Amino acid sequence: MKKDILITKLKESCSTILKLLEGIDLEIIVYEDSGWRIKDILGHIATWDNEVRKSIEAFNAGNEYAIQELDENNFNHEAFISLRELNSVQITTKFVKTRQEFIKSIIDFDQELLENDFLFPWGDESGSLTKLVEYMIEHDDEHKDEILNAIQVMKA
């Protein structure tokens, strides 16, 4: 898949989430068990966008990057704690900025390496840039659906 298509998909996914959140209180709880709010999910997506960007940039530079000794639950929780105090404007800004940085890493990516496999940030899987972007869009969609459900429950 061409880089411009990947970039368009990432931009559209981000825009869809932002449109969904227009006029919505980002303090709405999405996960009762953990207390994660909509804004925490935005921070979570931004955190993973940042990790993916690091893998892309490392591969483009002839290296590899993965989170060391990843325990995904602990990683997600630590990221949640580190971003918990950001207000809605700050977290939305971080979400958009991190997505822009992710997109820039694709713009800068060597076209000749586009379908070559490289290490993904979670460390136990490799694949192409296309595959990685598709994963991240699925990640967006999964959380977007959960946010939408929480909004619908709140409005009911």
Average pLDDT, stretch 43-49? 98
**Quick one: pLDDT at residue 36?**
96
**pLDDT at residue 102 is higher than 70:** yes
**Quick one: pLDDT at residue 147?**
97
**Quick one: pLDDT at residue 155?**
82
**Quick one: pLDDT at residue 154?**
84
pLDDT in tens, 11-29: 999 999 999 999 999 999 9
Nearest-angstrom CA–CA distance, 4 and 117? 19
Structural fold of domain 3-155: Four Helix Bundle (Hemerythrin (Met), subunit A) (1.20.120)
Please name the residues in contact with 53: beta carbons below 8 A apart, sequence gap of 6 or more. Answer: 98, 101, 102, 105
Provide the residue ranges of all domains of the chain, joining segments of one domain with +. Answer: 3-155
**Quick one: pLDDT at residue 156?**
75
**Quick one: pLDDT at residue 1?**
67
**pLDDT at residue 46 is higher than 90:** yes
Helix (H) or strand (E) holding 9: helix 3-20
